Structure 1
């Protein structure tokens, strides 16, 4: 059980019994009392119930409900799929489905009540209960999962997300026929039907001809299948070793460049992303203006329709977001804000000015100005008032926000300092290897928060990424100018952020080089093809 939930062990045990339909009246009263005790208790309960419901409505769960539980798949505390009520009769699929429906609805009824108890601390929207699945767990040999509150059963349908094996081995079969075997201490994120990210440890892939092009992303390289069986290993330093057992793969170097970078220097048409190929839609209320550096920038007028909409990162409504990231993230922008700072401390409930937001519910990513009631956890806690906030969901910690109080204390700027008419450089980063979230203003770390090293980001969904607004609550538009927006799937180091600030202070882009050079470099990946019996070791690129 994750350390975050250990204090609620008894509460989750009762929640498990409630979702089984085996809880007694006295236990139900106790559960209600425990859930009502505090907001963290309510959140822990809701996390369990929705996770239970999320995985209950799958063919694997229904099939599991038609068989007696085995020793490897015990009924009991906080498992991920319900066990059937004791019966000597063999239930039909229809009765199993009906029973599952009853217990899930019973869980959700109390969850709705919990939501009402928490009206003054609005709950974040949840994932759809029927998540898209792209693979299936087909074998598990003495496997122990890391940070899972139960057992993933053989036959479980797998959607986008991260699997972490502590002991044993596991085999995953994708719908396209690709087989991935995970070894001990392996961490792997399923990112789409045709790609995974190997974060740590060893994995082997057997890719059929119809799935040629399947990718394993690592910290050092993209490993692209060209019809093969191969193994990949990622060490503690990010070093990647690839060995081809049969066939051919191509390795492509990863560069320390943004996944997406919009300079806004093109003076007409959509906002051009120079690295990822996106075309941002500049929507009414947002208009082109002279650049804070370079030829162009975008002014946002704080109206409901003021935004630059980047889509979901792949310009498709049916693929996972290109803004999914697991091991690190950087959001970077040059801004000239005109935010009023109104909100909690001026008599209003809240006021947000979004710099960037992907509104995927509890898996959202945001960088924004805020003045609110801190209903969503702020870590570390700060006094209420105007702040710059960075929101992210970390595995085992949930969604929280790192905020810089704009109070002028301890070297921090005030809002008036940021509204001096000059351009200001803002950067938000998280590095899973260190377990550190950081917020920078003008090249200097102004706030940071540490969690356990190795803690991964949980992100992803089908929401659009938006610069200057919140797609789902359009009363949060930015007021002022945004330029030089960049999104990275790794954390910039403090030294890199300082160099970027020095560059923009001198009037050039973050990289201090002509944009054309950067684009050419991004396209000229180091490539290496490996065939049967060959191997290669690549190092992770460093700052």
Structure 2
């Protein structure tokens, strides 16, 4: 006989009793919208609470399946009309049969839904073919929030469909880079734009409304008046305002724009972050007028004088403390404001008190959309998942994780060993502020980690490797799924959809060391317009531009 675990209830995680109470309300269809939202937020924050919910739902379903054979002690019938049934003897055989069928069906549906919430996933994408699974709503509890272990959700979520190749219209393609050696390759986007990649060329089909030109030339022709299509280079973008144009990369950082019909607008990139959080005006209750998209979870995220400015966040290695970023999500991978494709930078100013112990993780920033996650964190997991590219010796490291098209998810793990210009763990945890930046640039293929204004570690992927990111999960600062709490201070977090240059990073470091912000204003989304119009080119004309200066060349 197995011994009875008398302390089982005492060992239940915090919030378990509340989950059971809310589950009862949901399963009996008496829960309010607020109670449903509370249940979802509890299950998102703690994997064990999801297991408790599933077990409770399973038992509830089993009881429903056998209810017709048990005395009724005053439960509310499925219909809200009529009187309460206080005893099974009061029911006719027909009523009992009807009740059994309905409750059995309801229980079966409940079990399927519960299992789907807990175990649900999507099939792997095959050769760039996007899954046809319907998109999920942007609620707190999402498919991308269900872990496969304590630290990583290793499923492949549905990916945004870009279009179809003219040679294979039955095959959807997700964001992909094409290398055309000769001739032309045709692509029809999901918005109906016809794109001809004219070899020799390299072109990244990054979304249904935009592509990235790495080499050669590409011609775009719109078929619908209600759509736009743009072609991006390293620092410029050409947006179609008519029906047909061509962009060609030239030597010496120049591009040529030929307009066949209508006109195009040539734009220069605004080199400001998508999001910049200074934490300067967080009140005592963890709210901020200028950073309304941030939600402070738990009362253990402390506010302190800033490393720059008036405020910063203090994390004390508490599993229940983190900041959720309630913006930038999409419905599938490749969508949402945080869906970067050609480049990315994640920047923060930190005082790190990480232990560096085996299996200890301290998260700075993370967005977990299955295998298409983005992360910047301190790790010492003994190469548990073999994600490191290049491969490094196990030990304490600063990790930068991305999913690159054609290469899958990998992490740039910078060993904290003091070799080859890398910092030591002691240097990083010396109690002083350190400026940390992680970048990836598809135009060079370089993935790099900078600390205190200098590049400390890098790896080069093939030029043209697009980032696959974005999706339904919210990003977090200072923790991940209550498993990777940060210890120390985090300030001046910035997120960019392009790679900062070494000179920009060095300048930001110097600004921070002088106690000055990288930018002004100090908080919130700084640039709703990501590009600045510099010229219009009309039909039947050509114009050459310098991509470094953004100026037209006569």
TM range (shorter): 0.5 to 0.7
Question: Is 1:306–1:468's contact at 8 Å kept on the other side of the alignment?
Answer: no
Gaps of at least 5 residues in structure 2 are: 1-122, 134-147
User: Number of paired residues?
Assistant: 408
Within 2, Cα distance between the matches of 1:120 and 1:522? 39
1:123-522 maps to which residues of 2 (within 5 A)? Answer: 125-128=154-157, 131-137=159-165, 139-140=166-167, 153-235=168-250, 238-267=253-282, 269-270=287-288, 272=290, 279-284=293-298, 285-311=300-326, 313=328, 320-343=335-358, 350-375=359-384, 376-409=386-419, 412-452=422-462, 454-464=463-473, 466-469=475-478, 473-510=481-518
- Residue by residue over 1:416-459, the C-alpha shift from the partner in whole angstroms, topping out at 9 and shown as x without a partner, is 3333332111112233444333222212222223344x151432
> Cα–Cα, structure 1 residues 361 and 165, in superposed 2: closer, same or farther, change >3 Å?
farther
Q: CA deviation at 1:254?
A: 0.9
- Corresponding position of 1:35: none
Q: CA deviation at 1:368?
A: 0.6
Larger RCO: 1 or 2 (CA < 8 Å, sep 6+):
2
SS in 1 for 2:503: helix
- Corresponding position of 1:115: none
Question: Is 1:221–1:240's contact at 8 Å kept on the other side of the alignment?
Answer: no
The question of 1:531 aligning with 2:541 is answered no
Question: Is 2:371–2:409's contact at 8 Å kept on the other side of the alignment?
Answer: yes
> Cα–Cα, structure 1 residues 355 and 168, in superposed 2: closer, same or farther, change >3 Å?
same
> Cα–Cα, structure 1 residues 233 and 322, in superposed 2: closer, same or farther, change >3 Å?
farther
RMSD of aligned alpha carbons: 3.7
> Cα–Cα, structure 1 residues 155 and 301, in superposed 2: closer, same or farther, change >3 Å?
same
SS in 2 for 1:187: strand
Q: CA deviation at 1:514?
A: 6.8
TM-score, with length taken from structure 1:
0.65
Find the structure with the greater CA-based Rg: 2
> Cα–Cα, structure 1 residues 235 and 313, in superposed 2: closer, same or farther, change >3 Å?
farther
Q: CA deviation at 1:184?
A: 1.3
Gaps of at least 5 residues in structure 1 are: 1-48, 60-118, 141-152, 344-349
Within 2, Cα distance between the matches of 1:241 and 1:421? 51
Question: Is 2:316–2:486's contact at 8 Å kept on the other side of the alignment?
Answer: yes
Question: Is 2:295–2:324's contact at 8 Å kept on the other side of the alignment?
Answer: yes
1:69-108 maps to which residues of 2 (within 5 A)? Answer: none
Q: CA deviation at 1:528?
A: 1.8
- Residue by residue over 1:6-26, the C-alpha shift from the partner in whole angstroms, topping out at 9 and shown as x without a partner, is xxxxxxxxxxxxxxxxxxxxx
Within 1, Cα distance between the matches of 2:171 and 2:328? 28
Question: Is 1:312–1:464's contact at 8 Å kept on the other side of the alignment?
Answer: no
- Residue by residue over 1:514-536, the C-alpha shift from the partner in whole angstroms, topping out at 9 and shown as x without a partner, is 759x9589789243222212333
SS in 1 for 2:499: coil
Q: CA deviation at 1:305?
A: 4.3
SS in 2 for 1:496: helix
